[in-house]
Amino acid sequence: MTPARTPPQMLTLVALSGLAALSMNVFLPSLPSMALDFGVDYALMQISVSGYIAASAILQLLAGPLSDRFGRRPVMLGGIAIFILATIGTLLATTAAVFLTFRMLQAVITVGMLIPRAAIRDMYSGDRAASMIGYVTMGMAVVPMIAPMIGGVLDETVGWRANFALMGLLGLGVFVWAWRDMGETVSEGGVPMRQQIANYPLVLRSIRFWGYCLTATLTSGTFFAYLGGAPFVGQRVFGLSSAEVGYYFAAPSIGYLLGNFLTARFSSRVGLIRLILVGALICFVVLASALAADLAGARQPLLFFGAIAFMGLGNGLVLPSANAGMMSVRPELAGTASGLGGAMAIAGGAALSALAGSLLKEGAGAAPLLAIMTASAFGAILSVLWVIRRQKVLDRPD
């Protein structure tokens, strides 16, 4: 058996997911200095986050069906190759417009989020798939935990371009690694596009699928809104340096790491729906408490980022289970389901990230950001309760 046909090791899937996570957040502490370097407003430079997320959503819609048809391996390798070229473009950019163009192209690495989930669903099913996704995302969570720290230090010592040089070097290393180990998990040549289109209604009519998607979208929305607003809050509200913002950015990743670990250990025993509900409740309670504290005048970085850490814990319980659930509706279309669900989550995240960036003003504190995140967490609770209620009425899985 050749390496191209050997199922990938879990460590390979962690590396692929980690590269995608790194691309999203390693440079975040540099956003204010990047805006100064290009001579543009912070709101324009923040498009490198919100626009990137929006581009990722569109690409997930395309990459999911392509991976079901042509296989996980070629889509993954092609995505990394384009990402490396786009990263070179960001390093050579001399204007904000050119930089943002190549930054949008970098979004192709979103396949590193989609493909590992689909590959796991190819190899495992049900609660076992949720457990394995939990282990992969647990390892992946280490990257966003340390990447902003590294990015903040690189920004202060070398400059913001060092962050993109790091992306390019790591992308090249992961490409070689995936080439050697990323075996194909789609059997029998994949599902033809005509058959995929014929099966779409079966997915789209599923209450369970939409319930999982909405829950994942609104839960992810809390994190994406945080990405869009935390650099401003850290530096303008709390007066932190780029390096300090990078250190505090580890907060959600620490919580997410723990949530993933609990999901991996207990999903088979507790069940997907219960884990999702508990995680959604944790997110809402801690964010609502942080919002109340901010409105009361208690504006401390430890309080804000401490709440974000517990939000990460809730996300770590919700997302692996929700992703496994949405792919269980039609297992042969795991890539398509993962892509559609991921696109919804990322598109919602892009909107919330942009909204957070636009509402944060001098003197407002962190309240606008926390209000957006709290509302998103409450919506996630309503979504999962809707699924539970509908399943009780039908008394059967749809």
What's the mean pLDDT in 51-66?
Answer: 82
What pLDDT was estimated at residue 253?
Answer: 77
What are 338-364's pLDDT values in tens digits? 777 777 777 777 777 777 777 777 666
Higher-confidence residue of 135 and 369: namely: 369
Checking if the pLDDT of 1 tops 60, the result is no
| Calpha distance 254→316 (Å, rounded) | 10
Higher-confidence residue of 330 and 325: namely: 325
Checking if the pLDDT of 104 tops 90, the result is yes
Record the pTM.
0.71
Amino acid at 303: L
| Calpha distance 6→90 (Å, rounded) | 35
Number of domains comprising the chain: 1
Checking if the pLDDT of 395 tops 50, the result is no
What pLDDT was estimated at residue 103?
Answer: 95
| Calpha distance 360→230 (Å, rounded) | 10
Amino acid at 358: S
What's the mean pLDDT in 44-56?
Answer: 83
Higher-confidence residue of 153 and 325: namely: 153
First to last CA, the chain: 39
Q: Which helix (H) or strand (E) holds 315?
A: helix 301-327
Q: Which token pair is 182?
A: 């990323």
Checking if the pLDDT of 21 tops 90, the result is no
Q: What proportion of the chain, given as a percentage, has pLDDT over 70?
A: 87
What's the mean pLDDT in 235-247?
Answer: 77
139: left (phi over 0), alpha (psi -120 to 50) or beta: alpha
| Calpha distance 25→241 (Å, rounded) | 16
What are 144-190's pLDDT values in tens digits? 667 877 888 888 888 899 999 999 999 999 999 999 998 888 776 66
Nearest CA-CA partner of 379 in 209, 214, 210: 214
CATH number of domain containing 50: 1.20.1250.20
106-110, 138-142, 372-376: range with lowest mean pLDDT: 138-142
What pLDDT was estimated at residue 396?
Answer: 52
What pLDDT was estimated at residue 397?
Answer: 45
Higher-confidence residue of 21 and 100: namely: 100
Structural domain span for residue 213? 3-394
What's the mean pLDDT in 226-246?
Answer: 78
What's the mean pLDDT in 68-92?
Answer: 93
- What is the chain's mean pLDDT, rounded? 82
Q: What proportion of the chain, given as a percentage, has pLDDT over 90?
A: 26
Rounded to the nearest 10°, the torsion over CA 348, 352, 354, 359 is 160
CA triplet 117, 189, 59: central angle to 5 degrees?
45
The pLDDT confidence band at residue 380, using thresholds 50, 70 and 90, is: very high
What's the mean pLDDT in 30-46?
Answer: 86
